[in-house]
């Protein structure tokens, strides 16, 4: 009798856990555009607007739906590695919000990682966000709606999600380390 209750509890817990994971997956998928022409402003244009507005280097960008409105949330870093979050309207290109992360939100480790990332981009070791997006859009024939930098055990890459011309959602990873040219 007790074993049966344990099994039922375990099964119920597993079911609840799987339901929560599916809900999270569905919520994230809801931020993706339904078609290539849904947004008047593509991700790279929004990134350019944010860069021009802040003077900082873009590190990550993603399309989100907030209060029924499509926006791009763009994480940039200034020359000191301090993060700036800028939100761009996906239909008009208007800068809705732009602010520095302050205080405890911008801890030393994040700032150091950002500064190292910026150094790698400026000295040509890493691909820029723009280059990674252009590479994936060219390879898959679609439009990127989510790109973020990753450093997983010194494997530096960009995680990218895009929508291709057939309406398929694709997730890929692009190595951020620039190939060394052989001369």
Residue 45 lies in a domain: yes
For residue 133, give its domain range.
33-175
The pLDDT value given to residue 53: 98
Rounded to whole angstroms, how far apart are CA atoms 79 and 6? 56
Could you tell me what percent of the chain has a pLDDT over 90? 68
User: Does residue 13 lie within any of the structural domains?
Assistant: no
Please state the rounded mean pLDDT for residues 161-167: 93
Neighbouring CB atoms inside 10 A of 84's CB total: 22
User: d(Cα 40, Cα 19) in Å, to the nearest integer?
Assistant: 34
Q: How far apart are CA 41 and CA 63, in angstroms?
A: 11
pLDDT for residue 7: 44
What is the 3-state secondary structure of 63-118? EEEECCEEEEEEEEECCCCCEEEEEEECCCCCEEEEEECCHHHCCHHHHHHHHHHH
CA atoms of 150 and 3, how far apart (whole Å): 44
Instruction: List the one residue out of 168, 118, 159, 117 whose CA is nearest residue 141.
Output: 168
Q: Please check the confidence at residue 137 and state whether its pLDDT lies above 60.
A: yes
* β-sheet bridge partners, residue 155: 152
How would residue 12 be classed by pLDDT, with cut points 50, 70 and 90? very low
Using 50, 70 and 90 to split pLDDT, how confident is the model at 103? Answer: low
Task: Read off the pTM.
Answer: 0.79
Is 156 domain-assigned? yes
Residue 10 has a pLDDT of 43
Query: Residue 73 falls within a domain, yes or no?
Result: yes
* Residue 61 within any structural domain of the chain: yes
- Mean pLDDT, range 79-107, rounded to an integer: 87
Tell whether the model's pLDDT for residue 140 goes beyond 50. Answer: yes
| Token reading at 181 | 């040219």
Token pair of 136, please?
Answer: 């994936």
pLDDT above 80 (res 33): yes
Whether 117 maps to a domain, the answer reads yes
Q: CATH code at 143?
A: 3.10.450.40
CA–CA distances in Å: residue 7 to residues 12, 19, 72, 76: 9, 18, 45, 48
Q: How many domains does the structure of the chain reveal?
A: 1
Instruction: Give the per-residue pLDDT at 32.
Output: 92
Please report whether residue 110 resides in a domain. yes
């Amino acid at each position: 009798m007790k074993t049966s209750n344990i099994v039922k509890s375990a099964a119920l817990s597993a079911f609840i856990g799987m339901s929560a994971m599916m809900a999270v997956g569905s919520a994230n998928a809801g931020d993706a555009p339904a078609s290539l022409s849904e947004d008047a402003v593509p991700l790279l244009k929004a990134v350019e607007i944010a860069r021009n507005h802040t003077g900082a280097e873009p590190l990550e960008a993603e399309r989100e739906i907030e209060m029924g409105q499509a926006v791009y949330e763009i994480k940039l870093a200034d020359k000191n590695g301090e993060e700036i979050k800028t939100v761009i309207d996906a239909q008009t290109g208007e800068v809705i919000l732009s602010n520095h992360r302050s205080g405890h939100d911008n801890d030393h480790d994040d700032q150091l990682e950002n500064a190292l990332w910026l150094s790698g981009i400026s000295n040509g070791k890493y691909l820029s966000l723009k280059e990674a997006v252009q590479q994936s859009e060219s390879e898959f024939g679609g439009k990127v709606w989510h790109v973020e930098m990753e450093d997983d055990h010194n494997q530096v890459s960009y995680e990218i999600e895009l929508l291709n011309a057939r309406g398929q959602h694709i997730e890929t990873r692009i190595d951020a380390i620039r190939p060394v040219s052989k001369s």
